[in-house]
């Protein structure tokens, strides 16, 4: 896949332990053990959704053991169930609070009495928060909602663990193998951070703006 040099933000060469799992439950168990062993959560990546992997690699079929060694393979930080739950609650709460406060201010300007303002605002915030929670939950479990989770497990769930000492390398390999990881090995790889890897990279604050970079003639 061709990538414009203008889209590259940073390059980093790193040493990783990588492996392939065919069970999400086993992958999560292995990751939990890595965290207990002292591996930083920020040093653990897992493969992106199956459709994102196919899109990024132009729908070329690659064995999962080889896929782990390809720098262009899309990856994402590992997010445990506790982290996902906390994120869902925070996003839903913020959305509900924003709507409740905005609606309360609007009703106050209409000279409505305090009691109805409070009731309507609270109910509206709860409704919006609940809807937001459902939407965010679907986005976190997109593969499951679309029926792609069995496909992802069949093709192989990848994990990358960045390590900085021979002892940690051996420990990470032992943990991955113990939990059923396949093709567990160490590699050195050059990772490229591009604009499309950034959160909200596709967000356009102004709908009239095009795809060209800001600040360019």
Q: Which residues contact 32 (CB under 8 A, 6 or more apart)?
A: 80
For the ranges 79-83, 117-121, 210-214, the lowest mean pLDDT is seen at 210-214
High-pLDDT (> 70) share of the chain, %: 75
**pTM for this predicted structure:** 0.63
Phi/psi of residue 109, nearest 5 degrees: -65, -20
* Cβ contacts of 15 within 8 Å, gap of 6 or more: 162, 163, 164, 169, 186, 187, 188
Strand partners of residue 182: 20
Q: Between these two residues, 4 and 197, which has the higher pLDDT value?
A: 197
């Amino acid at each position: 896949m061709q990538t414009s040099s203008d889209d590259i933000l940073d390059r980093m060469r790193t040493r990783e332990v990588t492996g392939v799992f065919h069970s999400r439950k086993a992958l999560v168990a292995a990751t939990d053990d890595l965290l207990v062993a002292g591996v930083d959560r920020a040093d653990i990546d897992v493969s992106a959704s199956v459709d994102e992997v196919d899109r990024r690699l132009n729908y070329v079929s690659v064995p999962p053991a080889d896929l782990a060694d390809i720098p262009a393979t899309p990856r994402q930080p590992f997010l445990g169930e506790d982290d996902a739950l906390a994120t869902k609650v925070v996003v839903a709460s913020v959305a509900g609070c924003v709507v409740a406060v905005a609606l309360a201010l609007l009703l106050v300007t209409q000279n409505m009495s305090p009691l109805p303002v409070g009731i309507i605002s609270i109910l509206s915030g709860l409704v919006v928060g609940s809807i937001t929670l459902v939407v965010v939950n679907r986005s976190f479990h997109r593969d499951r909602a679309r029926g792609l989770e069995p496909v992802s497990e069949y093709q192989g769930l990848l994990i990358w663990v960045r390590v900085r000492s021979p002892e940690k390398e051996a420990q990470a390999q032992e943990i991955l193998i113990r939990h059923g990881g396949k093709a567990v090995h160490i590699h050195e790889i050059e990772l490229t951070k591009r604009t499309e890897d950034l959160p909200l990279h596709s967000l356009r604050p102004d709908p009239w703006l095009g795809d060209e970079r800001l600040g360019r003639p």
